[in-house]
Structure 1
């Protein structure tokens, strides 16, 4: 689930990358993450990600992350101490301070070969397979040369579209539980997360509401229909007024939003202290819409979509409170 470069509008520089790759965002025909059954210390274990099999002879000890927030999911599984660094380091919102072992960081979305070789990971947990495009950066062959496994969160593989379902979070946790040989922790975590989503969804009652998920960059509006954003709406049975926009990340006009007149507008923000500014911008641009008039414009943290995993559940819970609790 998680947004890939098109999974998040984190400012103009990432927006440019998003527009380049927004047409394709997921992988081939094979299921993106299937894990062989493992109990106890039953290594080796093989886990498939984006149609490729990766075999682990032991639990990974040097793990790189596609974004800093991925650490929350590893912490929830009790293996956060295995992470040594992450890409997109400028998205750090206190992760490094809370995890002193996270020292091998890069601000790049696509890691450089030099960075990868220097970090010497035995697993890279990516937030999109296209982090290894090989276009002037590290490629999948570089990972294989290092003997590193790859796991792509949310089925964000190159070549097909990820499914817009919260099930991707549960599948990721099951697969990581297998890779790290903590299947019981993974099961307990998924039980907890499913319960939290059920509680959030129950807040809807019998109301049928429409919603728009948008991002605003330098006054330009984009409809967000990619798997991560849509999964949040689907989990709460909110109808996306721009579901048929086409691409995962589509430029629209302010008039499009006003005309669609969703009951709720979610606007992304990408940093500490940025939520109020994002909401204010949306209120100005979409003045005249029912959502603005009713005070039903809310922020959603883009970094949570980049991180995927347990942070997506937090987005679902907050969206439910915003949409359904007066």
Structure 2
């Protein structure tokens, strides 16, 4: 079961219509799921059934370094992209959603996590999220992020929506860090926990949020306790032939790799999703390559390219054919991160050093 991907991490134009999997079982792992824009105050929304009238509002949150105030609990949230949508579902907030934006090609829904929520919530668009769609949905809050829906190039920003009377919440993984448009202000898992707790506070489901965080932390700690003593060097391959797109310190794969017991070879890059040169990959000699399975290019095609690409012939991961696949939704901020760590951890424990 697969779903096409809209816009998440920085992509080449050819990858805009990329696909990402929503299946519980992913190739190679079988993981289970048990600016001014940032500095404004958001106000608005309506109360929902998790909160009594006038109880606990307004709520002020810290979102991407800004103090953001909501007068009431939103009732018509529009989300963009799969990880963001599933954060709402994990918190049991599908009743507060007007819909989600996600491209086509969902495939068989039987194995999808949050299957009932996906069937209940309206699928608003298979294309880019935009102002017209938000207004048509009568949204009172848009949950998206920089390069996860929000983009200056088309004037779809939190500031633009604020002028239309629509509140916003920015995905913490996407927060800009003060270096141009570089993204990342905290570790990826801390970003997930921050968003769960913030949304828990906003919708008065704090206990549910804390239970999720505690469960993820417990499961991840169990993986770390079994991590190999000598950490295999791991490189995340997203896509790209001339130059590979990969993860820096502030994108999801960094924590997924390191908590699983690997040494993330691009951990020194202070950004989220970044492009590097192949010579850098060769120089750092990863012992394992993790493929991000999404897009028009299949994981099998990506694997074949890596194995056949002459400059990589001397890299340890290529010589030993140690290539592991995770889905896009596992690797961006989402409720599936813990399962991805469990799956990759099991794989890394089986890696024998040269």
TM-score above 0.5, yes or no: yes
Say if 1:164 and 1:91 are closer, same or farther in 2 by CA, change over 3 A.
farther
Bigger RCO (CA 8 Å, 6+ sep): 1
- Contact 2:197/2:209 (8 A) holds in 1: yes
Match of 2:14 in 1: 12
Say if 1:267 and 1:155 are closer, same or farther in 2 by CA, change over 3 A.
closer
RMSD of aligned C-alpha atoms? 3.5
Match of 2:209 in 1: 186
Residue 310 (str. 1) matches residue 321 (str. 2):
no
Q: TM-score by structure 1 length? A: 0.78
Q: What whole-Å deviation, never above 9, does each CA across 1:45-79 have from its counterpart, x for those lacking one?
A: 12232244333333322111121342322222111
Alignment partner of 2:276: what SS? strand
Q: Separation in 2 of the partners of 1:191 and 1:290?
A: 37
Q: Separation in 2 of the partners of 1:222 and 1:130?
A: 16
Q: Separation in 2 of the partners of 1:115 and 1:225?
A: 32
Q: Separation in 2 of the partners of 1:54 and 1:91?
A: 36
- Contact 1:134/1:140 (8 A) holds in 2: no
Residue 127 (str. 1) matches residue 151 (str. 2):
no
What does 1:1-326 correspond to in 2, within 5 Å? 7=9, 9=11, 12-14=14-16, 41-90=55-104, 92=106, 94=109, 98-108=118-128, 111-128=129-146, 131-160=149-178, 161-162=183-184, 163-218=186-241, 220-228=243-251, 229-244=253-268, 248-253=273-278, 255-270=279-294, 274-285=298-309, 286-306=312-332, 308-325=333-350
Q: Separation in 1 of the partners of 2:270 and 2:92?
A: 39
Alignment length, in residue pairs? 304
Q: TM-score by structure 2 length? A: 0.73
Match of 1:33 in 2: none
Q: Separation in 1 of the partners of 2:255 and 2:289?
A: 16
Unaligned runs of 5+ in 2: 1-5, 18-34, 41-50
Q: CA deviation at 1:159?
A: 4.9
Q: Separation in 2 of the partners of 1:189 and 1:245?
A: 29
Q: CA deviation at 1:172?
A: 1.1
Q: CA deviation at 1:197?
A: 0.9
Q: Separation in 1 of the partners of 2:286 and 2:139?
A: 45
Q: Separation in 2 of the partners of 1:192 and 1:112?
A: 35
